Amino acid sequence: MGNSFHSLESTLRRRRQQTPETQQPEPQPQRLYPGPPLRHRPASSSRSAHRAPATRPPSRPPRHLLAPLAAASLGTDSRAAGALLARARTLHLQTGDLLNWGRLRKKCPSTHSEETDHQLLRDCIQKTLNEWSSQISPDLVREFPDVLECTVSHAVEKINPGEREEMKVSAKLFIVGSNSSSSTRNAIDMACSVLGVAQLDSVIIASPPIEDGVNLSLEHLQPYWEELENLVQSKKIVAIGTSDLDKTQLEQLYQWAQVKPNSNQENLASCCVMPPDITAFAKQFDIQLLTHNDPKELLSEASFQEALQESIPDIQAHEWVPLWLLRYSVIVKSRGIIKSKGYILQAKRRGS
């Protein structure tokens, strides 16, 4: 019995001595970041048994999504714009509300001159072209539309229908390179569409372009005035007016027209005091005499083509001719302040 006891004791002693070497504890996973200990699911868990591979974020977008970005980074956005303009026949350009364009607002001088007016308009055209060309969608390039709508969506602000009665919407139309009276209707229709209104409160037409050495006559005005009269009768316009007419010209238009002019603008550069004869005539027939400081030629064919060429080098700018330019303003009636203003123009490609 004693020998058996000692034999059992020695056997247990040997097993205790071998345990640290032969029965190592299960190693704990290494912690790669500070925080609470990692939790392990039981080996029987289906997620542990069939663990899905980790999802890797894509290293880069698909190639078809990178194309527009690559084009912009390489300056090829102007190539897309050039390709579109090479196939299009008509260009409609809308600057949107210039009051939202901080860079242009900072450029506005305290005093006006023909040079600053030309430069500001050119800046408006170039900035709109640059913004538009940088946002051309691949779908538009595939379509190659005949009419290009060149605008900046975030810069266009339509009038809230609930506020329409509180606003006065006026416009001045400059005929640039068109001898067609249909330009008048196109311009008014576009202005109403851009502003989201059915009717303009007043429209003034600048004197149409005439050859050097030729005096403006009633015959030059009649085609455009007849179209304005049609727009008044169709309730697209409430009142129509003229610009830079002397007493004789204004009297001839008044006697001939079915819809009489309710205003005539005089350029501050040409007269500091209204001539007595036109003042008396306007008072007799209830015509408002207003002033303006627009240059005689606000937008020329050459200046438009230069702006087009600088913004989109990959284009034959000489092929494009501006037809008309419309400047609109939205005024809060009760406060007399301008809420928004901008330009709209239409240009055609020669031979189209």
* pLDDT exceeds cutoff 50 at 22: no
133 and 81 in contact (C-beta within 8 Å)? yes
| Interval 188-233: pLDDT, tens | 999 999 999 999 999 999 988 888 888 899 999 999 999 999 999 9
**Considering the chain, what is the average pLDDT of its residues?**
80
Question: Which of the four pLDDT bands, split at 50, 70 and 90, describes residue 116?
Answer: low
What's the average model confidence in pLDDT over 251-275?
90
Q: Specify the pairing of strand 337-349 against strand 90-94.
A: antiparallel
- Please provide the distance, in angstroms rounded to a whole number, between the alpha carbons at the two ends of the chain: 123
242 and 278 in contact (C-beta within 8 Å)? no
The mean-pLDDT minimum among 10-19, 63-72, 143-152 falls in: 63-72
| Interval 316-350: pLDDT, tens | 999 999 999 999 999 999 999 999 999 999 999 98
Is the full-model pTM beyond 0.85? no
86 Cβ partners below 8 Å, 6+ apart?
315, 316
The sign of the dihedral angle between the CA atoms of 233, 234, 240, 246 is negative
Could you give the dihedral angle defined by the CA atoms of residues 223, 226, 228 and 232, in that order, rounded to the nearest 10 degrees?
-170
Treating both helix axes as pointing N-terminal to C-terminal, what angle do 114-134 and 301-311 enclose, rounded to 10 degrees? Answer: 40
Helix/strand/coil for 337? strand
Question: Which of the four pLDDT bands, split at 50, 70 and 90, describes residue 115?
Answer: low
Question: Which of the four pLDDT bands, split at 50, 70 and 90, describes residue 46?
Answer: very low
Question: Which of the four pLDDT bands, split at 50, 70 and 90, describes residue 245?
Answer: very high
Give the span between the Cα atoms of 266 and 246, in whole angstroms.
Answer: 9
The sign of the dihedral angle between the CA atoms of 53, 57, 60, 66 is positive
pLDDT at residue 212 in the model: 80
| Interval 147-168: pLDDT, tens | 999 987 667 789 999 999 999 9
Percent of the chain's residues with pLDDT above 70: 71
Give the span between the Cα atoms of 347 and 174, in whole angstroms.
Answer: 13
Give the span between the Cα atoms of 269 and 296, in whole angstroms.
Answer: 10
Residue ranges covered by each domain of the chain:
76-104+111-349
* pLDDT exceeds cutoff 90 at 169: yes
Give the span between the Cα atoms of 240 and 263, in whole angstroms.
Answer: 7
pLDDT at residue 21 in the model: 46
The torsion angles phi and psi of 300, rounded to 5 degrees, stand at -100, 165
Structure tokens at 194: 């851009």
How many beta carbons lie within 10 A of that of residue 322, not counting itself?
Answer: 25
CA 180 to chain centre: 27
Q: Among 308, 303, 205, which residue's Cα sits nearest to residue 261?
A: 205
The mean-pLDDT minimum among 30-44, 100-114, 140-154, 300-314 falls in: 30-44
What's the average model confidence in pLDDT over 63-76?
40
pLDDT at residue 271 in the model: 64
Q: Specify the pairing of strand 237-243 against strand 200-205.
A: parallel
The structure tokens 């050097």 sit at 212
Helix/strand/coil for 67? helix
Q: Among 286, 292, 259, 260, which residue's Cα sits nearest to residue 274?
A: 292
* pLDDT exceeds cutoff 90 at 7: no
Encode 113-124 in three state secondary structure: CHHHHHHHHHHH
The mean-pLDDT minimum among 61-75, 114-128, 205-219, 243-257 falls in: 61-75
DSSP codes joined into one string, 281-313:
HHHHTT-EEEEE---S-SS-HHHHHHHHHHH-S
* pLDDT exceeds cutoff 80 at 144: yes
